[in-house]
Amino acid sequence: MVREVTGWNVSLWELLKVGERRLNLLQAFNAREGVGAEADTVPPSLLIPLEGGESDGVAVTAEEVEKAKSIYCRMVGWDEDDRPRRGKLEELALGDASCLPPNSSAPPRISMGGVTKKLRIWPAQPRFTV
């Protein structure tokens, strides 16, 4: 479908790798900006038991969510603070992403398939606490 819409001759594997690179770059950026595992939570409404039907009374506990997050982080190559490990970033040709200086005025550079490109980052949005 991508080929028909864009004309790009890409495989499913290449599209999956694009998605994997995107998630890891987002996590590396968040880690650089000081956003860690504590921000990765589910809304309290997801912990309320379901009502009606075969799943009546079934609920996911906060402990189960934390255990699932821990398993996911190990599966995708992130550490216990939800930060991509250096090896994972290098595997995805994003090795420089974890070393981006915070609040740098110079646009960071990333390597994409052997081609170095400037990464455009929009100005930081104000942080709000709830």
Kindly list the domain boundaries of the chain, sorted by start residue.
2-44+56-118
Phi, psi of 93 (to 5 degrees): 60, 35
pLDDT given at position 103 = 45
pLDDT tens-place string over residues 77-124 = 998 888 898 888 888 888 777 555 454 444 444 444 454 444 444 444
- pTM of this prediction exceeds 0.85: no
Condensed to tens digits (0 to 9), the pLDDT of residues 7-64 reads: 888 888 888 999 999 999 999 888 888 888 888 888 999 899 999 999 899 999 999 9
Q: What would the CATH number be for the domain defined by 2-44+56-118?
A: 1.10.599.10
d(CA 10, CA 75): 25
Give the angle subtended at the CA of 72 by the CAs of 50 and 38, to the nearest 5°: 75
Contact 20, 89 (CB under 8 A): no
Cα distances from 86 to residues 7, 77, 123, in angstroms, run 34, 9, 26
